[in-house]
């Protein structure tokens, strides 16, 4: 199965996905030593049937971490903008909650952990995103960060189709287990 076929299948299955165990995934992320050590976290804002990150964002803000979220601009480009509350988010491009253009910029090299969305992940740490390349371009710039992927067990495969420019993740967290890339 190629990227487009798997992406289409996974996006369709997300419409029927059970979100009942998502809180377990979010809790497991907060228990990771990489999360606990992170001062500055870049996190997607869950939308639709993605794993929701609202509680995670609130807990990071309350814990005093620097929290930044994506602001999409141009074709396949996004920047990291700091938020101090989810109330600072408004519906932006693509119907996704985003910070304002005036929100403080966070330099990619200052980010220590990235919570990475995806429609499917491989046990080999491969990632299949939505197809816009936003995260692949962004992750290329975050050289100091650990990439953590929340993933429902039904979206985890042995591998997913990927190309040379596709960025792999370092840690995959499902409701059942945590997979960590050996470094």
Instruction: Spell out the per-residue pLDDT of the chain, length 183, in tens.
Output: 766 766 666 666 655 555 678 899 999 999 999 999 999 999 999 887 789 999 999 999 999 999 999 998 878 889 999 999 999 999 987 788 999 889 999 999 999 999 999 989 999 999 988 778 899 899 999 989 999 999 999 899 999 888 888 889 999 999 999 999 976
CB 112 within 8 A of CB 41: yes
CB 131 within 8 A of CB 7: yes
- Determine the pLDDT at residue 69: 97
- Determine the pLDDT at residue 183: 63
Domain boundaries, the chain: 3-171
Tell me how far CA of residue 46 lies from CA of 73, 84, 89, 98, 143, in angstroms: 18, 17, 12, 11, 24
Asked if the 3-171 domain carries CATH number 3.40.630.30, the reply is no
- Determine the pLDDT at residue 16: 58
The pair of three-digit structure tokens given for residue 124, joined into one six-digit string? 């080999």
**pTM confidence score:** 0.90
């Amino acid at each position: 199965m190629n990227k487009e076929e798997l992406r289409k299948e996974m996006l369709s299955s997300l419409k029927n996905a059970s979100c009942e165990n998502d809180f377990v995934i979010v809790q497991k992320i907060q228990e990771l030593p990489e999360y606990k050590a992170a001062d500055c976290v870049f996190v997607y804002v869950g939308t639709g049937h993605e794993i929701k990150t609202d509680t995670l964002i609130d807990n990071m803000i309350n814990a005093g971490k620097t929290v930044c979220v994506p602001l999409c601009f141009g074709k396949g480009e996004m920047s990291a903008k700091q938020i101090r509350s989810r109330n600072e988010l408004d519906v932006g491009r693509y119907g996704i909650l985003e910070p304002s253009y005036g929100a403080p910029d966070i330099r990619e090299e200052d980010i220590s952990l990235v919570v990475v969305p995806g429609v499917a992940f491989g046990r080999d740490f491969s990632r299949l995103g939505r197809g816009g390349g936003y995260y692949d371009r962004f992750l290329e710039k975050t050289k100091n960060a650990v990439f953590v992927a929340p993933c429902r067990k039904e979206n985890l495969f042995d591998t997913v189709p990927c190309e040379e420019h596709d960025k792999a993740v370092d840690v995959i967290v499902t409701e059942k287990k945590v997979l960590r890339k050996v470094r």
